[in-house]
Amino acid sequence: YTKRELIECARAVTEKVSLVLSALQAGNKGTQACITAATAVSGIIADLDTTIMFATAGTLNAENNETFADHRENILKTAKALVEDTKLLVSGAASTPEKLAQAA
């Protein structure tokens, strides 16, 4: 090989490596979005498990003579928000990595 041929081959390899890196970076967005979503869902599940554990043990007591009715509206709003967030994650997972990243 001549020096010129070697330089041309090096350029060709550099271009191909650049394409591979671009493809990997594009795929990484979806992977990172999945990791973010999984972390968020795991946190919610852990919070729910903790609440269930305390409720089951009978140690989830009200403060200052509060009743369930005092918290019913907030519980309902939180449950609806959780359902909507879950719907966004599911639709994002079935779509593009960018949509999943937005949902997460």
Quick check: 67 pLDDT over 80? no
pLDDT band at 52 (very low <50, low <70, confident <90, very high): confident
Number of domains in the chain: 1
The set of residues, in sequence order, having a beta carbon less than 8 Å from that of 93 and lying 6+ positions away, is: 34, 37, 100, 103
Quick check: 94 pLDDT over 80? no
Most confident of 16-20, 23-27, 51-55, 72-76: 16-20
Range of the domain at 73: 3-103
Q: Are 92 and 36 in contact (CB under 8 A)?
A: no
Predicted pLDDT at 104: 62
Predicted pLDDT at 101: 67
